[in-house]
Amino acid sequence: MRFIICLLLSALLTDIVCAHDLWLIPPERAEPGKVVKIVAHSGDLFPKSEQAPDPSNFVKRRVLHPDGTEHEMTADGTKEQSGLMRFTPEKPGIHLVAIETKPKHIKLEAAAFNEYLVSDGLAHIYRLRHMEKSLDQPGAEQYQKSPKAIFLVGKGEGDPCRVMGLTLEIVPKKNPLELKVGETLPVFVLFKGKPLAEANLGWDWPGAGERPRGTARTDTKGEALVPIACAGLMTIRLTHMTRPKAAEYEWESFWTTLTFRTGD
């Protein structure tokens, strides 16, 4: 039985069509007292955007300042394939920004749903469908996305390890902005405020392609280690799925990304 499942998974992985991630792209430079623009991108090839997310549709557009105060970013429309938001930081230091999208419903044909499960690290859901003999059934799903980014304004301090209370959230355990190539970033994952074990993290940097450069599963404490193999812009991503069996959908998925720029 396991051999059959492995063959089915391998067949799906030969031609993966990844689902669209949502990223918040932090600025390369930011200064206190000057408008900071946060860019939202959606696509398969980080950080290239295939469509412009409309920030006015986001349920939350949050910025967490170094002193712990929180404000809402202003939706600033779209330009080409980018969604734009802005805020003006008053003080230097590490800032965190995050958004949450409205829950949406989608129904995928069986083959597309199975492919999505495997490509997004949800092979355990695929195996469950196999055991239940429902691989030939479409997947009715509700999904929500909650990306986050970390960046520095001017020269200052701050805590990049703060929890923002997102439904699904990747939290660094040390400052990723100071890490160099060859070092490792410890992270932990929270789902509805509790550690999420066996979560399949993936990481990418520009030019990496559709498949993640690497993956790691969280342990029983929701923790994992992510290697820093490239300087500059980098993202860590995760999809988590539950099965509420609601009237309008059987599955519910939660997506998150954590984006930052490492040191030279």
The pLDDT of 70-90, averaged and rounded, is 97
pLDDT of 58 above 90: yes
Transcribe 153-202 into DSSP letters.
Answer: ESS----TT-----SEEEEESS-GGG--TT-EEEEEEEETTEE-TT-EEE
Q: What is the pLDDT, as a whole number, of residue 5?
A: 38
Buried b / exposed e across 46-67, counting CB within 10 Å, b at 16+?
bbebeebbebeebeebbbbbbe
Q: Which domains does the chain have, with CATH numbers?
A: 20-101+145-164 (2.60.40.10)
Please determine, for residue 138, whether its predicted confidence score (pLDDT) is greater than 70: yes
3 state DSSP class of 250: coil
90 DSSP assignment? S
- The pLDDT tens digits for 89-134 are 999 999 999 999 999 999 999 999 999 999 888 999 999 999 999 9
Checking DSSP bridges between strand 70-72 and strand 104-108, what pairing results, if any?
A: unpaired
195-214, pLDDT tens digit by residue? 999 999 999 999 877 778 89
Whole-structure pTM value: 0.90
Return the DSSP state at 57: G
Contact between 257 and 41 under an 8 Å Cβ cutoff? The reply is no
Nearest to 234 by CA among 214, 255, 251: 214
Confidence of residue 20 (pLDDT cuts 50, 70, 90): confident
